């Protein structure tokens, strides 16, 4: 047999399109030609495969003209994942393994020069696609845990090229890999009971978790803003199996380990020097950014005004759509970005505006320039804006603990069940669905119109108030929000008053 076809897959963002490695041996001037839009790492596989075959004890057909085609021809191929399928294709085309032994299988793996198999990134999207195709998957042993997360999929891990060939020849079968139970175990998360005082901020945190709302914490340094933000994942409902796979797939594409964070809500905390590409993703071959790594979790931006204004503005569209579309001259990627934004900031450059412990040293112009770093459209997208004041010493030294994350999570989950019965979380409700859920009467509309006029709130801020009020009603088990809920929701829109220390 002089023609062999081996099934594998490319990596295109979170997708894994099928690729067929076609190997043809013919008479003529000896050589090896690789076609099918291979990038540099794929072109270099010719030398890795040649050395791996020889060092593993197999014959390389040096007297034949070898043509390797990676189909489809118009799909760019990158990375070392094609080494193993190329090697198996050469062995099958040269008659060293039967061609029919490759049926019903897909494979990927980088080859060392001695024939050992090395791990490759993006295995989980590959495995999920293989599972949908109802085939078995041969991969390096280092990738076995990641591939087994896909679920009902025969995963055949190998350490060397020789082991793969022995399995295909029926000499020494590779047993299907069983996922270790420890891989899916979740480490305990920080507990909300550790937070002393800050009752309003704790309340806002619960409301944010219940409705999926964005949150801004404003206050002097050392008042617990970061501590509060880090407790939000612990009061969110556990991830479903499908959501956990989506989170893991993004980490897999980025080459990050999955075992330690499997099943946990992501909590990403980029430094304020991060670029726009680092935050939303990018590069000549667009990779996921922090907002995609925070998918189904929390993106925490500490020292919010210290971020570049351009960087903050690129968040506006993903906050609305829950996805990020990255387009480049020759590449286009779409990544999920359904995250909760939690931000923290000081009220002024020195941080002590309105702080009874220490006098503010900033001038009025400095405070104005500092606050102007946050645009109105961005603030409109933050539903809850809460002051986190300095605590008196007696609260800091008190032995009493607040409510635990588990108790708060129960209320959050009950509120979310009511929202899902309406079809979506309150933060994601469309205008018509939101109006229908709130069911405002004429008196409530008139009252709200007067408040909006007095506070100069935008139309977007008005809908944010409705969403928060609806979440407050859901937390209390009421069918629709009433005036107390609207008053509390409007209280979360008073950022100007908080920053000016009024």
Place of tokens 């996805």: 323
- Name, in order, each residue with C-beta under 8 angstroms of 269's C-beta and a sequence gap of 6 or more: 300, 301, 302
- Complete domains list, the chain, with CATH: 3-179 (3.30.230.10), 192-392+400-499 (3.40.50.300)
Q: What is the pLDDT of residue 104?
A: 94
User: Nearest 5°: CA angle at 170, between 165 and 121?
Assistant: 40
DSSP class of residue 196? -
Q: Block means of pLDDT (10 residues each) for the chain, length 502 residues?
A: 91 94 92 92 94 94 93 92 97 94 95 96 95 96 92 94 96 89 64 85 95 93 90 93 92 84 88 93 88 96 92 91 86 91 92 83 88 83 89 70 89 95 90 88 89 80 90 94 92 62 40
Q: Taking the CA of residue 319 as centre, how many other CA atoms within 13 Å lie in the half-sphere pointing to its CB?
A: 23
Instruction: Return the pLDDT at 257.
Output: 83
- Round to whole Å and give the CA distance between 178 and 155: 8
- d(CA 433, CA 88) in angstroms, rounded, equals 56
Per DSSP, helices labelled H in 240-284 are: 241-253, 276-280
Tell me: cis bond preceding 412? Omega within 30 of 0 counts. no
Q: What is the largest CA-CA distance in the chain?
A: 90
DSSP string, 295-354: TTSEEEESSGGGS-HHHHHTTHHHHHHSEEEEE-SS-EEEEE---EEEEEE-SSSSS-TT
Q: Say how far residue 276 (Cα) sits from the centre of its chain.
A: 16
The pLDDT score that the predictor gives to residue 397 is 67
The 3-state secondary structure of 397-431 reads CCCCCCCCHHHHHHHHHHHHHHHHHHCCCHHHCCH
Asked if 83 contacts 52 with a C-beta cutoff of 8 angstroms, the reply is yes
pTM (whole model) above 0.85: yes
Residues 7, 148: Cα–Cα separation, whole Å: 19
Q: What pLDDT score was predicted for residue 409?
A: 95
What values do phi and psi take at 128, rounded to 5? Answer: -65, -40
Render pLDDT for 334-363 as a digit per residue (tens, 0 to 9): 999 999 999 999 988 988 887 888 888 899
- Residue 338 burial class via C-beta count within 10 angstroms: exposed 0-12, middle 13-18, buried 19 and up: buried
> pLDDT at position 498, please?
45
Question: Contact at 8 Å (CB) between 281 and 291?
Answer: yes
Q: Give the pLDDT confidence score for residue 293 in this predicted structure.
A: 95
User: Rounded to 5 degrees, what are φ and ψ at 371?
Assistant: -70, -30
Separation of alpha carbons 389 and 222, rounded Å: 9
- Main-chain dihedrals φ then ψ at residue 103, nearest 5 degrees: -70, 140
């Amino acid at each position: 047999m002089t023609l062999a076809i081996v099934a594998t897959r490319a990596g295109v963002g979170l997708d894994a399109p099928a690729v067929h490695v076609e190997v043809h041996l013919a008479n003529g001037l000896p050589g090896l030609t690789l076609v099918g839009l291979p990038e540099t790492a794929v072109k270099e596989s010719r030398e890795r495969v040649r050395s791996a075959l020889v060092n593993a004890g197999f014959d390389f057909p040096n007297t034949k003209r070898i043509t390797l085609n990676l189909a489809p021809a118009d799909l760019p191929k990158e990375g070392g994942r094609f080494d193993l399928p190329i090697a198996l294709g050469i062995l099958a085309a040269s008659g060293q393994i039967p061609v029919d032994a490759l049926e019903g299988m897909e494979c990927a793996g980088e080859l060392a020069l001695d024939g050992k198999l090395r791990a490759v990134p993006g295995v989980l999207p590959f495995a999920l696609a293989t599972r949908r195709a109802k085939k078995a998957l041969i991969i390096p042993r280092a990738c076995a845990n990641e591939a087994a997360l896909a679920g009902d999929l025969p995963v055949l891990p190998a350490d060397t090229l020789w082991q793969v060939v022995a399995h295909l020849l029926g000499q020494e079968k590779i047993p299907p890999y069983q996922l270790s139970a420890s891989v899916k175990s979740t480490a305990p998360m920080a507990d909300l009971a550790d937070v002393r005082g800050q009752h309003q901020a704790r309340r806002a945190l619960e409301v944010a978790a219940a409705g999926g709302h964005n949150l801004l914490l404003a206050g002097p340094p050392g008042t617990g803003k970061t501590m509060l933000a880090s407790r939000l994942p612990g009061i969110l409902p556990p991830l479903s199996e499908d959501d956990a796979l989506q989170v893991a797939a993004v980490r897999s594409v980025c080459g990050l380990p999955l075992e330690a964070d499997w099943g946990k809500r992501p909590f990403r905390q980029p430094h304020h020097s991060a670029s726009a590409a680092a935050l939303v993703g990018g590069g000549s071959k667009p990779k996921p950014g922090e907002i995609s790594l925070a998918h189904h979790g929390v993106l925490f931006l500490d020292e919010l005004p210290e971020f570049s204004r351009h960087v903050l503005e690129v968040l506006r569209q993903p906050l609305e759509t829950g996805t990020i579309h990255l387009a480049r001259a020759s590449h286009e990627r779409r990544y999920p970005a359904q995250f909760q934004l939690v931000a923290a900031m000081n009220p002024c450059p020195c941080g002590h505006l309105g702080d009874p412990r220490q006098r503010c040293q900033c001038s009025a112009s400095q405070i104005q320039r500092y606050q102007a770093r946050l645009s109105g459209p961005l603030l409109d997208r933050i539903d809850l804006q809460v002051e986190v004041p300095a605590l008196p010493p007696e609260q800091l030294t008190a032995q009493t603990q607040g409510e635990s994350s588990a108790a708060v999570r129960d209320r959050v989950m009950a509120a979310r069940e009511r929202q899902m019965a309406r079809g979506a979380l309150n933060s994601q409700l469309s205008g018509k669905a939101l109006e229908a859920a709130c069911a405002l009467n004429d008196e409530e509309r008139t009252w709200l119109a007067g408040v909006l006029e007095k506070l100069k709130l935008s139309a977007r801020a008005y809908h944010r108030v409705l969403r928060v009020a609806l979440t407050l009603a859901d937390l209390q088990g009421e069918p629709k929000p009433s005036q107390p809920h609207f008053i509390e929701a409007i209280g979360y829109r008073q950022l100007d008053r908080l920053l000016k220390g009024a």
